[in-house]
Structure 1
Amino acid sequence: MNEMSAGFRDLGSGFTSIVRSPRMLLLGGVPALLSSLLLLTCVVVLALHSGDVASWLTPFADEWSWWWRRSLRLLLAITLVAGAVLLGSVSFIALTLLIGGPFYDHIAERTERERGLADDGDGAGGVRLLWRGLADALRLVCVGVVGAVVLFALGFVPLLGQTVVPVVGLLFGGWLIALELTGPVFQRRGTTVGGRHRILWRHRRTVLGFAVPTYLLCLIPVAQLVVVPAAVVGGTLLGHRVLGSRWPEERTPAESLTSGKTPGPG
């Protein structure tokens, strides 16, 4: 329970930092707004044309009676829209980070400076780090798409789809968010998505304490504009926590001198 509360506290620290800094809120909110509008537009367009798409996908039903043909295509249209919403929910953070990568890298670096956390990078330049961020975001979007398709299909299984699948979907979406939001910390160290997953798994209770509430909050329209930048700060703190970083007040004077950091507020 203490491990889960540690992850939750990291998210709370993110909200505290963002509320105190309107500039960070603005930097983090704009990409979240753009990705929200993009996903919403896609869902609305699909909903408006879902009937035509359903008809195109079911030419074999043209010879059916009107009632059966209409029922099948209506069910398929609803399924397509629901699937798009599910896909959007699991890919929202990845898309947001893809759009606003440099902004969120800046927020992560500022968080590290303010907290006196060591930036133990591998010396990669800005262009290389940008490439790493884009590559990781695309990989995680692909994972999200595959996961959403599988979960959506399992949702039609009687009993399983109404009980187990929603819980698995929550955990899956939350875990993707943790992988995405800890990205800046791990990318500077050259750690791949697979390596990041293994490290986070060793601290899964702490990670889920951060990731699950973040995922649920991201489902709330408009609130995403505040949740995402706060979660970037929280994800940076979480990344350092699972890597064993020690906050300035936890270091001895000798360690503080060695790190070259001036102890700041925790």
Structure 2
Amino acid sequence: MKRMRQIVRELVAGASLVPRGFAFWRQRPGVMALGMVPAVIAGALVGIVLIALGLNVEALAQVVTPFADGWAERDRGVLRTLLALTIVAGAIIGTVYTFTTLTLLIGDPFYERIWRAAEQQLGGFSPSPVRFWRSFGDGLLLVLRALGYALVTALVGLIPVVGSVAAAVLGPVLAGHLIARELTTRAFEARGITAADRSRLLRGSRARELGFGVATQLFFLLPGGAIAVMPAAVVGATSLARSVLDRAVRDRAALDSAALEHDAGAPPPPA
């Protein structure tokens, strides 16, 4: 029970970083407004693709089922209707990850300005120069990770009876993890922390990371929510990275203290 309460507190603490990020609008409204641009561009691109798919999904179902042309009209219609519905459902699932990935890729230079402003506001760290554009390798890894998450979510959705509910829960969780991981990368990289160490640090604060990421993703479900929340999420991710680092320092200090106490209480070695 104590462990469960601790997890809930961590989830709430992570989720609270998102609304706290909105407070940064008062300090740097111009920089925050600029951070809305990537979500607008990504939303427009995803919207165009979805509209085009919706208008042509029946034709697409016919193209991929030429073997059914000789079937009875009813059987052919049932097959292609089910296929069209599957395509639409897959597109909706993919939209969660596509929009998130596009926003993160497009927003890299925009979000760097917000991150620098947030670091300066929080104090205690002077941001060093980092890459202006995300490297090809990092961008490719982000896309592959998003595709993997989308595939897992789609496969879960195929489970009979509980699949649709499970996928509806799993989608925001995985997308939230993706957001938290990517938005904290800049703060970690600026401190010289490697990718392996970043993963280890975030695992030590998994509940807080998920609380932040899922809260951000849930804002995406609101009309216009993604456009408004991404600048605040960058500020929140900066605070998240700092809290993760602070926890690692405290945990290390506690381990060192425990080791010293153990050594002090150990019997002296035999003469």
The bucket for the TM-score relative to the shorter chain is: 0.7 to 0.9
The answer on whether the counterparts of 1:29 and 1:226 sit within 8 Å (CA) in structure 2 is yes
What's the CA shift string for 1:34-58, capped at 9, x where partnerless?
A: 0010111111111111111111111
Larger radius of gyration: 2
The answer on whether the counterparts of 1:27 and 1:103 sit within 8 Å (CA) in structure 2 is yes
| Structure-2 separation of matches of 1:59 and 1:193 | 47
**What number of residue pairs does the alignment pair up?**
241
The answer on whether the counterparts of 1:83 and 1:149 sit within 8 Å (CA) in structure 2 is no
* TM-score, normalization by structure 1: 0.82
Seen in structure 2, the aligned counterparts of structure 1 residues 97 and 118 have a Cα distance that, compared at 3 Å, is: same
Seen in structure 2, the aligned counterparts of structure 1 residues 245 and 149 have a Cα distance that, compared at 3 Å, is: closer
| Structure-1 separation of matches of 2:164 and 2:247 | 41
Give the alignment's Cα RMSD to 1 decimal. Answer: 2.2
| Residue 97 (structure 1) aligned with residue 104 (structure 2) | yes
Amino acid corresponding to residue 78 of structure 1 in structure 2? L
Q: Residue 123 of structure 2 aligns with which residue? A: 116
- Structure 1 regions of 5+ residues with no counterpart? 247-266
Q: Which runs of at least 4 in structure 1 moved beyond 6 Å after TM superposition?
A: none
The answer on whether the counterparts of 1:87 and 1:148 sit within 8 Å (CA) in structure 2 is yes
| Residue 164 (structure 1) aligned with residue 166 (structure 2) | yes
The answer on whether the counterparts of 1:6 and 1:209 sit within 8 Å (CA) in structure 2 is yes
Amino acid corresponding to residue 76 of structure 1 in structure 2? L
1:160-199 map, 5 Å: 160-191=162-193, 193-199=195-201
| Residue 217 (structure 1) aligned with residue 224 (structure 2) | no
| Structure-2 separation of matches of 1:219 and 1:193 | 30
| Structure-2 separation of matches of 1:94 and 1:18 | 24
Shift of 1:193: 4.8
Shift of 1:212: 1.1
Shift of 1:157: 1.7
* TM-score, normalization by structure 2: 0.81
Q: Residue 42 of structure 1 aligns with which residue? A: 49
Q: Residue 63 of structure 1 aligns with which residue? A: 70
Counterpart among 205, 224, 239 of residue 237 in structure 1: 239
The answer on whether the counterparts of 1:10 and 1:237 sit within 8 Å (CA) in structure 2 is yes
